[in-house]
Amino acid sequence: MNSTKKFYEIINQQNEKYIDSSDEKRDRIYSKIEKMVLPTKRKRHLNLLIPAVAASFLIILSIFSLVKLSKEPETIYLESTTPYGVRTKLILADSTVVFLNAGSYIKYPAKFVDKTRKIFFHGEAYFDVKKDPEHPFIVQTGDLSIKVLGTQFNVKNYQMDENIETTLINGSVGVYSQNDTDFSLELMANEQALYDKTKRDFRKRKVDAELSAIWKDGKFYFDNEPLSKVVMTLEQNFNIKIKIHSKKLENKIFSGLFG
């Protein structure tokens, strides 16, 4: 039985003498009562429903965020250091080949999971980067970032070096300063970028790029280098100490291929 009608009948039973029991008038009363009661019930139901829906939405959103975060893989880094007198060959997860010269350090992901393939490095290394246009390969060394898609190049940045040398064997690379992201150099094959660590500026020159990476074959190439720098290179590669007793001899210039 309709609750409104039941309500009316109870009143009618208790107050028969005051209420017109005709069907027409009774229907009018039903209609008025329904108009008064039903909107209130609906409004109350709606007021209770909105907070419940909002709370449910927040719970679902929180669960979705937690699931999304839990699915994002954590980048695990590996490190490799080559002491003086040692050269090392590494193959990264993307099949990129890296030759580390003596006295060098590299930090790289065990698996590349980001939009870029970024590694950290100092010393000297030859990179043969696996081509992947959708995931640029980035070498960060000192104040520089070197960005490539797939190419071969050599980077030299020892702590005692005045310049960071980036030499391109083939392909193309972009060399960017961390201190000024708007300033960069684009290198083509057989070009070398020299970044002055003190002045923080670039210069570019033409070179025989193959000779810059000949160290990985156990050979040495010097191009108008003072004897002091030649000695430093030999000490690193053979883990020995060489003393020059003549200051005049330290500045003597050497050029040539050895080994």
Residues 100-153 pLDDT 10s: 999 999 999 999 999 999 999 999 999 999 999 999 999 999 999 999 988 999
Instruction: Please tell me the predicted confidence (pLDDT) of residue 50.
Output: 57
Relative to beta strand 163-170, strand 191-196 is antiparallel
How would residue 29 be classed by pLDDT, with cut points 50, 70 and 90?
low
Find the mean pLDDT for residues 4-10. 50
pTM metric for this prediction: 0.71
Q: Which of 41-55, 74-88, 154-168 has the lowest mean pLDDT?
A: 41-55
Sequence-ordered list of residues with C-beta below 8 angstroms from that of 134, at least 6 positions apart, any chain: none
Query: Residue 245, class by beta-carbon neighbours within 10 Å (0-12 exposed, 13-18 middle, 19+ buried)?
Result: exposed
The C-alpha atoms of residue 112 and residue 207 are separated, in whole angstroms, by: 33
Q: Which of 63-67, 81-85, 93-97, 144-148 has the lowest mean pLDDT?
A: 63-67
Q: What is the CA angle 40-41-42, rounded to 5?
A: 90
Find the mean pLDDT for residues 237-259. 90
CB atoms within 10 A of CB 120: 14
**DSSP state letters, the chain:** --HHHHHHHHHHHH-GGGS---HHHHHHHHHHHHHHHHHHHHHHHHHHHHHHHHHHHHHHHHHHHHHHHHHSPPPPEEEEEE-TT--EEEE-TTS-EEEEPTTEEEEEESS--SSSEEEEEEEEEEEEPPP-TTS-EEEEETTEEEEESS-EEEEEE-TT-SEEEEEEEESEEEEEETTEEEEEEEEETTEEEEEETTTTEEEEEE--HHHHTGGGGT-EEEEEEEHHHHHHHHHHHHT-------HHHHT-EEEEEE-
Which domains are seen in the chain, by residue range?
A: 3-71 (no CATH), 77-208 (2.60.120.1440), 219-259 (no CATH)
